[in-house]
């Protein structure tokens, strides 16, 4: 597609490009534009129809939007801003430099500017920061016919019209009614008789991850957002929730890999920025790992007396780290989904203890057979290694399952207590267990 468009641009066949783009999906058009050379992007964007251009602009990433905004004439900027929904406008402004933001705000009306500033003032990652104020509101005294008249009159400017929100004169949320309910009711039926009054809602300061979880739990297309006095101030739609889920999942994955989270895509992150994201944790983990060498040094005499013990250190450390990572990953996932709470810590430890004993015993039996048949070590050395294996897996699982829960309890992101940190802790613990069991059984 892009090659074809570039060929037509070279030939200055703009009408053919317009015809080619006319029926394109906005999301696909956004991807296509982002892959074009920067100098060609504004030219092709201007060939989109007015409505398609605004929808496409909303799907583009911040860098591409900034390129277009800088190249827009005042008239073009007016047209795009007029078509954008409020939440898309806020998302765009959050990623742009101050001078570009000022220019954009000059091209929106006073009411829209006020709403934008209101949303921008909500805490980052809160329901207020991702909501839109463009929803259909009805009154309980309206008839179905009057409700449809209001939807027709205002619905074009709203992000969704399927779910309508019933409010009183103070904008306090009283209920919801869907277009399906309205279609299946007589024209003369009053809204208060068909609306749902048991409404699920979130507050403006509710964490965005919890909002996304509520939408998923109840299969909502949108969820209302209220202020401290339960006045309706906006809604969060399912498409915004999907974006939140993707952002939070990406953030958790990066934290679990000991990388400082970022909002920028990998291919658009410079080498220097990537280095800055990774080096703090690498330095911390490297320094932490020096404790491991210190432990080995303190047991030099024991190792000198039974050199064969040295060859099993990597296996014991790796197995402990792997077991701890499995446990921590499971618990972190449960915490992020709301399946696990701090009060469940005793149940978690009990369950993981049984699981780790079963896993440790299985690994010990398999390892014992290898030690005796292949490595041909003495029975006592095999006993030291296998017993250590059971204890290390048990301790690793307990460390792996408790640290994320404790981190959540004190306000840290549980994802921080993931594989790299767990592995570093377990390595040191595994060595201490190993050498102490060796001293006890081998008398060294």
CB-CB contact of 235 with 165 (8 Å): yes
pLDDT at 4: 82
Give 98-135 as a 3 state SS string. Answer: HHHHHHHHCCCCHHHHHHHHHHHCCCCCEHHHHCECCC
| Predicted confidence band of residue 211 (pLDDT cuts 50, 70, 90) | very high
What token pair was written down for 444? 């060294």
Q: Look at residue 396 in the predicted model and tell me its pLDDT.
A: 92
What does the H/E/C string look like for 17-36?
HHHHHCCCCHHHHHHHHHCC
Query: Looking at the predicted structure, is the pLDDT value of residue 203 above 90?
Result: yes
Q: Write the CATH number of the domain with boundaries 137-254.
A: 3.10.580.10
Residue 37 has pLDDT above 80, yes or no: yes
Rounded CA gap, 431 and 424, in Å? 11
Task: Give the pLDDT band (50/70/90) at residue 261.
Answer: low
Q: Name the phi and psi angles at 74, rounded to 5.
A: -60, -40
Taking all residues of the chain, what is their mean pLDDT, rounded to a whole number? Answer: 85
Is the confidence at residue 243, as pLDDT, over 70?
yes
Model confidence pLDDT, tens digit, residues 150-191: 999 988 878 888 999 999 988 999 999 999 999 999 999 999
CA angle 169, 175, 178 (to 5 degrees): 115
Characterize the bridge pairing of strands 163-167 and 173-178. antiparallel
DSSP lists the bridge partners of residue 138 as 166
Between 65 and 95, the more confident residue is: 65
- Helices 26-34 and 62-71 cross at an angle (nearest 10°) of 80
Cβ contacts of 107-113, under 8 Å, gap ≥ 24: 107/74, 107/77, 107/78, 107/81, 108/81, 112/86
What is the homologous superfamily of the domain 267-442 according to CATH? SLC41 divalent cation transporters, integral membrane domain (1.10.357.20)
pTM of the model: 0.63
Pick the closest to residue 56 from 86, 21, 90, 94 (CA basis): 21
Q: What is the pLDDT of residues 131-141, one digit of tens each?
A: 988 899 999 99
Q: What is the pLDDT at residue 73?
A: 83
Least reliable range by pLDDT among 353-357, 366-370, 400-404: 400-404
Task: Classify the C-alpha dihedral 389-393-399-400 as positive or negative.
Answer: positive
Task: Supply φ then ψ for residue 397, to 5 degrees.
Answer: -65, -40
| Token pair listed for 38 | 């920067």
The number of C-alpha atoms within 13 Å of 310 and in the hemisphere containing its C-beta is: 12
pLDDT digits 0-9 by tens, 271-327: 888 888 778 777 877 777 777 777 777 777 766 767 788 888 889 988 998 898 888
pLDDT of 340 higher than 90: no
**Using DSSP, how many helices (H) and how many strands (E) does the chain show?**
22, 6
Cα-Cα-Cα-Cα dihedral sign, residues 218, 90, 109, 114: positive
Q: Higher pLDDT residue, 291 or 353?
A: 353
Range scoring the smallest mean pLDDT among 7-11, 211-215, 394-398: 7-11
Instruction: Give the CATH superfamily of 2-121.
Output: MgtE N-terminal domain-like (1.25.60.10)
Q: DSSP letter for 263, please.
A: S
Q: Which two structure tokens, joined as six digits, stand for 24? A: 């394109």
Contacts of 234 (CB under 8 A, 6+ apart): 119, 128, 131, 132, 133, 135, 204, 224, 225
Q: Where are the domains of the chain?
A: 2-121, 137-254, 267-442
Same fold, 2-121 and 137-254: no
Query: Are the CB atoms for 233 and 239 separated by under 8 Å?
Result: no
Residue 5 is predicted with a pLDDT of 84
The yes-or-no verdict on residue 424 having pLDDT over 70 is yes
pLDDT at site 279:
81
């Amino acid at each position: 597609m892009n090659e074809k468009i570039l060929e037509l641009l070279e030939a200055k066949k703009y009408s053919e490009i317009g015809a080619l783009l006319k029926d394109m999906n906005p999301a696909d058009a956004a991807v296509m534009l982002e892959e074009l050379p920067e100098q060609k992007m504004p030219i092709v964007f201007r060939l989109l129809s007015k409505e398609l251009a605004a929808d496409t602009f909303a799907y583009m990433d911040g860098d591409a939007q900034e390129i277009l905004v800088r190249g827009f004439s005042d008239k073009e900027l007016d047209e795009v801003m007029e078509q954008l929904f409020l939440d898309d406008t806020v998302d765009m402004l959050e990623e742009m430099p101050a001078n570009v933001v000022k220019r954009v705000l000059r091209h929106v009306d006073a009411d829209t500017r006020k709403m934008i500033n209101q949303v921008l003032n909500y805490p980052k990652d809160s329901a207020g920061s991702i909501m839109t104020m463009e929803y259909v509101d009805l009154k309980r005294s309206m008839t179905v016919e009057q409700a449809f008249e209001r939807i027709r009159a205002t619905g074009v400017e709203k992000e969704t019209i399927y779910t309508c929100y019933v409010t009183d004169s103070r904008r306090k949320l009283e209920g919801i009614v869907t277009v399906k309910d309205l279609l299946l009711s007589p024209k003369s039926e009053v809204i208060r008789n068909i609306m749902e009054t048991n409404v699920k809602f979130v507050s403006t300061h509710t964490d965005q991850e919890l909002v996304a979880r509520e939408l998923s739990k109840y299969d909502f297309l949108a969820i209302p957002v209220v202020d401290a006095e339960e006045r309706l101030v906006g809604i969060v739609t399912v498409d915004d929730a999907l974006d939140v889920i993707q952002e939070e999942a990406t953030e958790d994955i990066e934290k679990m890999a000991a990388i400082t989270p970022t909002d920028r895509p990998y291919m658009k992150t410079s080498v220097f920025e990537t280095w800055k994201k990774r080096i703090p944790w690498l330095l911390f983990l490297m320094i932490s790992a020096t404790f491991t060498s210190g432990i080995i040094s303190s047991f030099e005499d024991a190792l000198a007396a039974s050199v064969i013990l040295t060859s099993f250190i990597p296996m014991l450390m790796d197995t402990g780290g792997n077991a701890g990572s499995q446990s921590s990953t499971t618990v972190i996932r449960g915490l992020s989904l709301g399946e696990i709470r701090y009060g469940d810590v005793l149940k978690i430890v009990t369950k993981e203890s049984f699981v780790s004993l079963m896993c440790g015993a299985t690994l010990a039996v398999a390892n014992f057979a290898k030690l005796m048949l292949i490595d041909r070590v003495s029975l006592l050395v095999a006993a030291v290694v296998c017993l250590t294996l059971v204890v290390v897996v048990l301790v690793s699982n307990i460390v792996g399952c408790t640290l994320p829960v404790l981190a959540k309890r004190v306000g840290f992101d549980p994802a921080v207590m993931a594989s790299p940190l767990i592995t570093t802790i377990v390595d040191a613990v595994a060595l201490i267990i190993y050498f102490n069991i060796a001293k006890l059984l081998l008398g060294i």
